[in-house]
Amino acid sequence: MSRRNTASQSAVLQLLRESDCALNQDMVAERLDSVVNRSTIYRILNRFVEDGLVHRIVGEDGRQYFAKCSDCTAEAHHHDHPHFHCVSCERVECLSEPLRIGVPAGYLPQQLNVTVSGYCRDCNQNS
Amino acid sequence: MSRRNTASQSAVLQLLRESDCALNQDMVAERLDSVVNRSTIYRILNRFVEDGLVHRIVGEDGRQYFAKCSDCTAEAHHHDHPHFHCVSCERVECLSEPLRIGVPAGYLPQQLNVTVSGYCRDCNQNS
DNA sequence: CTTGTTAATGCGACAAATTTGCATTAACTT
DNA sequence: AAGTTAATGCAAATTTGTCGCATTAACAAG
């Protein structure tokens, strides 16, 4: 089951590469030049996550956001950085500072989802 | 618009007080002795959050979980502790260790949602 | 270049979680 | 005891994401 290259797929990947923040399905849809079906966008994004190209962030609103892994290689993924979710403009951006959170003995941590929500610089000033 | 005391309301609050982990609407519903309408449960929980009695956690599954504020007073809320969300038994529990996450200058952080997901002790052993 | 295989897409339907409008009930004030 | 209106129940709507299935098209092989 090897992957095939399609226009929609590379367009989405390009979007995520260029974006300085994480995107949800809506954002991807509206930023694409051509119209791509909703399920297709979800499938593309999920495929990226599966392949480790992109990581999934659950926003403060419970929605899924996707961001290109910048410093991740195929071997080592570190999605251990916090995100800032602006409640006003809805931007979700990755903060650089990685962090480690201890769990009680016997627990097996797998994923980390850290979201600070509030107002980003722009929205904080315009209010 | 003052609050009124109702049986459902205090039952839900009691549940949250007794619970050692955060609960979502389903969990609240099935643990209540009497049947309470779904929307009502949501409204009760949202009211609690609004009043600062309870804090809302967005789980790894995008669902809303609610936990009683234990060390919070009306004045000072600190929901700055991480949560552990077991992907197997779905338990969401508060970890004690509080943490502080820096945001870029000009940003106004308000809420913090930190969730480590994986397998809790019980589920880790039974697998 | 043509052809076959099957991954990717589009579409509609479905599912789950949460919210909302509205009529009814019941808490609390006077 | 009576009036005001917060809280509830119910049904319907919304939102977000997934799934089945038929169709399209990417890519490998001849």
Nearest beta carbon to residue A110 from set B61, B108, B117 = B117
Give the single-character DSSP code of B22: B
Could you tell me what percent of chain B has a pLDDT over 90? Answer: 76
Residue B64 tokens, joined: 């809303």
A21 annotated ligand-binding residue: no
Confidence at residue A10, expressed as pLDDT on a 0 to 100 scale: 97
Residue B77 above 90 pLDDT? Answer: no
Matching residue, tokens 């009683």: B68
Q: How many residues does chain B have?
A: 127
Per-residue burial over A46-58, b if 16 or more Cβ lie within 10 Å, else e, is eebeeeebbbbbb
Identify the DSSP state of A85.
Answer: E
Give the C-alpha separation, B19 to A124, whole Å: 37
Q: Which CATH number fits domain B7-125: 3.40.50.2300, 3.30.565.10, 3.30.390.10, 1.10.10.10?
A: 1.10.10.10
Report the alpha-carbon distance of residue B72 to residue B68 in Å, rounded: 9
Q: What's the whole-model pTM score?
A: 0.92
Is residue B21 marked as binding? no
Question: Which residues in chain B are closer than 8 Å to A106, comparing Cβ atoms?
Answer: 121, 124-125
Per-residue model confidence as pLDDT tens digits over B84-107: 999 999 999 999 887 888 899 999
> pLDDT, tens digit, for every residue of B26-51?
999 999 999 999 999 999 999 999 99
Separation between Cα atoms, residue B110 and residue B55, nearest integer Å: 13
Q: Please answer whether residues B120 and B90 qualify as being in contact, where contact means their C-beta atoms are separated by less than 8 angstroms.
A: no
Residue-level pLDDT at A91: 94
- Whether nucleic acid strand D comes within 7 Å of the CB of B44, the answer is yes
Contact B103 A87 (CB under 8 A): no
Give B40 to chain A, closest Cα distance, Å.
21
In the structure encoding, which two tokens stand for residue A92, read together?
A: 């979700």
Structural tokens at position A77: 């993924």
